[in-house]
């Protein structure tokens, strides 16, 4: 699945949700950084029964070692949808990969 997502990004067959556009601006995440992070991505969570359609959470790193979480649709859609993207909060994520338990 990762390879298919990477292919869609390389072929520019993806779109941003309105939320992802807003969040990328607020968090100063460029399209270039998104592409860098997707190139190194690993799947950390799978949501096959997400209410808006199957999706995954990926972790990737930019060339400057900035960790990014990318929540996107399954690549089976004609256009891969970037639902949101953000830099994981260390208070909520262990090693950027494992959710910390909330009290």
Other CB atoms closer than 10 Å to residue 69's CB: what's the count?
A: 21
Mean pLDDT of 9-37: 95
Give residue-wise pLDDT tens across range 33-81: 999 999 999 999 999 999 889 999 999 999 999 999 999 999 998 999 9
Q: Where are the domains of the chain?
A: 2-88
- What Å distances lie between residue 42 and 1, 19, 26, 56, 69, CA to CA? 10, 22, 24, 10, 10
- The pLDDT value given to residue 9: 95
State the pLDDT confidence band at 101, using cuts at 50, 70 and 90.
confident
């Amino acid at each position: 699945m990762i390879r298919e997502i990477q292919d869609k990004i390389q072929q520019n067959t993806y779109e941003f949700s309105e939320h992802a556009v807003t969040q990328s601006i607020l968090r100063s995440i460029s399209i270039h950084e998104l592409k860098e992070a997707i190139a190194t991505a690993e799947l950390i969570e799978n949501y096959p029964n997400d209410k808006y359609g199957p999706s995954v959470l990926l972790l990737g790193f930019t060339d400057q070692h900035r960790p990014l979480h990318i929540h996107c649709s399954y690549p089976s859609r004609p256009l891969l949808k970037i639902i949101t993207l953000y830099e994981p909060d260390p208070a909520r994520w262990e090693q950027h990969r494992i959710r910390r338990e909330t009290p």
